[in-house]
Amino acid sequence: MDATTSLADKLASKTASSNSLDSSSKSSSLGSKHGAENGILRDTPFAYLEGEEDQDQKNDVTYVCPYRGPVFGALTITNYRLYFRSLPLRDQEPPVVVDVPLGVIARVEKIGGATSRGENSYGIEIFCKDMRNLRFAHKQQNHSRRTVFEKLQANAFPLSYSGKLFAFAHAAAAQPPAAIAAVSAGWDGWAVYEPLAELRRLGVPNDMWRATKLNESYGICDSYPAVWAVPKAASDDFLRRVAQFRSRCRLPVLSWMNPRTQATITRCSQPLVGVSGKRNADDETYLSYIMEANAQSDKLTIMDARPSANAIANKAKGGGYESEDAYKNVEINFLDIHNIHVMRESLRKVKEACYPTTDDSKWQTAIDSTLWLKHIRCILAGAVRIVDKVETMSTSVVVHCSDGWDRTAQLTALSMLLLDPHYRTVRGFEVLIEKEWLSFGHKFQQRIGHGDNKHSDADRSPVFLQFIDSVWQVSQQFVNAFEFNEHFLITIADHLYSCRFGTFLCNTEAERVAEDLKHKTISLWTHINSSLDQYLNPLFPSFTHGPEPVLRPIASVRAVRLWKGLYCRWNPGLCAPQHGCQRTRELLSKQDQLFKHVNELRLKLNNRSNNMQTTTRLASPMH
């Protein structure tokens, strides 16, 4: 099947699914659009996506809602979602709807046994990656729980049962005509990022930097992209030697260049100095090449994302950090961002504080004790320090953590967002994620656990979610600096888990090429770019003056706040149902009307001015 074949997804459902409280809520971005308007018509209350097939259906299930209490209704399980709809007891009573993509499920557990006697004590509890827990009660006598449990296990965790993720079935069932239309309209998400084109936008190649396809077969570094930008002074053989002294062979490679000063941001992993403090002449020379490529400064700054104690401890494992004695004209800064295990535990505490119940008298204390906002502040502060070095001091910066695919990506992507207005547009932000997160090998498969039932895997961590949260924090301080809105960020966060699209599958670019995701799955960006109006920020000054070139957010405790629109959206006591998409459309429509009116007035003014000039010439005496 051609890559474009799968783009028909844009005709399938796009907007918000109902949350677990109200079928009219639009706080999630995962469900179907307007009933059966664009989906596949079947005898169910939702529109099926292409490739979505029934797996099980039960008509006598009770959803134990933590806010409304038990509600009786029908449960449908497909190969993509779990869908529950209550049977209203009174006329005009809105049904309670739960619509959850199976990719969002972290684990499924049986509750109660044959001897359970309490009301609703026998059933299934579902723990989700998006802050929810769901509980369904079954009747013991009809044994409905067993088949529901088995179908959930097989379809929520297909990789643990020799199956395939839904993204492949979804793309295989897509309609070719829509795919062709998507490509012609510029919606094809797989074409959003082209490495050489992005490098040309940054001014590479130039006198000091070159592009290379040395890693085209992923033989030098299997977690790096095929295309790199490196100092022109470094030969391919030299690069091979440098790679051997960096963890996972992740040598310093260009992420961004200031077109005005030539100051750069490069990214890599830790050097393999070990306890004995080994040195490597090639690595030291290579960093000097990066410094010398910037004529504005005779220094190079290394931003090590880790706490200094962690960096020192890594020496015992063969890693470590650059010594200022060995690397001349280099200064090193530690940014105190903790590791993936600390972040996973922090998010678990946020979930406990937000769902299902909260204590108003201890709310702020509970949030503070999670340390989540402190971690977000550290990421923001680190990015601001990078911006200050690159923009104010015109100094090139090298960023790394341990392996260079978690905290490093947070810092490079966020600092690039602050420095370059292009990345604050919808397309630019898509490029930023494709480049800094996907092509440079953030391990999405391991960090999220797509289709995998190992819910306690130590490799899971909300690293990318923290980046999205950090972007939201900046957008709240600079409300007109971003072309996209909050719904855009929530949509990305939701589909990080959904497994409906191929964008966040696999760990590396090499794996995505081997899996042929470009031809066998649909890109999330196709879905978004085909309906841009709901993701646009009406305050973005696209028709007036350009956005601020550089953003410097306040990275302090008083400025960072909990993103209730994401973390608290399932709790009605903390976050009321949002209708931001509709409000955005109304504002954009009003904006269009105002600009049309302004253009009409300008046209009338120009016509009047031209008429007056003509009248003046006709009235002038002849000479």
Banded model confidence at residue 622, pLDDT cuts 50, 70, 90: low
What pairing do the DSSP bridges indicate for beta strands 97-101 and 396-400? unpaired
Distance in angstroms (rounded) separating the CA atoms of residues 512 and 492:
19
**How many domains is the chain built from?**
3
Residue 575 located in a structural domain: no
- Round to whole Å and give the CA distance between 166 and 79: 7
Average pLDDT over residues 173-188: 70
Examine residue 166 and state whether it is found in any structural domain, yes or no.
no
- Is the confidence at residue 35, as pLDDT, over 70? no
Known binding-site positions: 314-317, 339-340, 401-407
Annotated binding site for substrate: 314-317, 339-340, 401-407
**Lowest-pLDDT range, 136-145, 485-494, 569-578?**
569-578
CA–CA distance, 350 with 363 (Å, rounded to integer): 11
Would residue 16 count as lying in a domain? no
* Mean pLDDT score, 392-402: 98
Same domain, yes or no, for 245 and 376? Answer: yes
Least confident of 26-40, 113-127, 197-211: 26-40
Q: Could you tell me if residue 577 is inside a domain?
A: no
Residue 13 has pLDDT above 50, yes or no: no
State whether 136 and 209 are in the same domain: no
Token couple for 508: 């590396």
Arithmetic mean of pLDDT, 582-607: 80
For 112, 352, 571, 573, the CA distances from 68, given in Å and listed in that order, are: 22, 19, 11, 12
Whether 299 and 371 map to the same domain: the answer is yes
Q: In terms of domains, do 588 and 485 share one?
A: no
Quote the CA–CA distance of 52 and 48 in Å, as a whole number. Answer: 6
Is residue 464 located within the same domain as residue 597?
A: no
What are 163-172's pLDDT values in tens digits?
999 999 999 9
pLDDT band at 10 (very low <50, low <70, confident <90, very high): very low
Strands 300-304 and 396-400, bridge-based pairing: parallel
Instruction: Supply the mean pLDDT for the chain.
Output: 89
Encode pLDDT of 95-108 as tens digits.
Answer: 999 999 999 999 99
**pLDDT score, position 584:** 66
* Position 574 pLDDT exceeds 60: yes
Choosing from 103, 123, 156, the residue where a domain stops is 156
**pLDDT digit string, tens, across residues 253-288:** 999 999 999 999 999 999 999 999 999 999 999 999
In the chain, what percentage of residues exceed pLDDT 70? 87
Say if residue 537 is in the same domain as residue 489: yes
Domain identity same for 87 and 226:
no
Is the per-residue pLDDT at 33 higher than 50? no
* Residue 373 within any structural domain of the chain: yes
87: in domain: yes
- Name the residue range of residue 330's domain: 181-567
Report the pLDDT value the prediction gives residue 7, as an integer from 0 to 100. 34
Terminal CA-CA length for the chain: 78
How large is the average pLDDT for residues 332-348?
Answer: 98
Report pLDDT for 18.
35
CATH number of the domain at 35, please.
Answer: 2.30.29.30
- Of the listed ranges 238-252, 302-316, 534-548, the least confidently predicted one is 534-548
- Mention every residue, 6+ apart, whose C-beta is less than 8 A from residue 574: 354, 358, 564, 568
Higher pLDDT pick, 505 / 41: 505
- pLDDT confidence bin for 606, thresholds 50/70/90: confident
Q: Identify whether 94 is part of a domain.
A: yes
237 and 139 in a single domain? The answer is no
Q: What is the mean pLDDT of residues 558-584?
A: 81
Average pLDDT estimate for 11-37:
40
Tokens of 266: 């490069």
Task: Kindly tell me if the per-residue pLDDT of 613 is higher than 90.
Answer: no
* Residue 526 near residue 129, CB atoms below 8 Å: no
Residues 6+ apart with CB under 8 A from 535: 426, 484, 485, 487, 488, 491, 528
Dihedral sign from CA coordinates of 476, 482, 487, 492: negative
Q: Which of 401, 499, 506, 568 is catalytic?
A: 401
Residue 30: pLDDT over 90: no
Residue 56 lies in a domain: yes
Q: Is the pLDDT reported for residue 588 higher than 60?
A: yes
Residue 290 — pLDDT band, cuts 50, 70, 90? very high
When pLDDT is averaged across residues 22-41 and rounded to a whole number, the result is 45
- 237 and 144 co-located in one domain: no
pLDDT surpasses 50 at 623? no
Whether residue 104 sits in one domain with residue 70: yes
For residue 336, pLDDT over 60 is answered with yes
Region 367-387 average pLDDT: 98
pLDDT digits (tens, 9 = 90+) for 147-161: 999 999 999 999 999
The per-residue pLDDT for range 513-527, each reduced to its tens digit, is 999 999 999 999 999
- Specify the pLDDT at position 546: 61
**What confidence category does residue 405 fall into, taking pLDDT thresholds of 50, 70 and 90?**
very high
Query: For 133, how many CA atoms within 13 A lie in the half-sphere containing its CB?
Result: 14
Does 608 share its domain with 562?
A: no
Mean pLDDT of 62-77: 94
Confidence of residue 17 (pLDDT cuts 50, 70, 90): very low
Report the pLDDT value the prediction gives residue 375, as an integer from 0 to 100. Answer: 98
**Do both 586 and 485 map to the same domain?**
no
What pLDDT shows up at residue 609?
81
What average pLDDT does the segment 471-488 reach?
A: 96
User: Which tokens hold the place of 303?
Assistant: 């931003």
- Catalytic residue flag (residue 581): no
Question: What's the Cα-to-Cα distance from 518 to each of 7, 182, 226, 426, 616, rounded to whole Å?
Answer: 11, 15, 15, 20, 65
Where residue 28 falls among pLDDT bands split at 50, 70, 90? low
pLDDT for position 2: 41
Confidence of residue 608 (pLDDT cuts 50, 70, 90): confident
Q: What are the angstrom distances between the C-alpha of 423 and each of 166, 202, 385, 536?
A: 30, 12, 19, 14
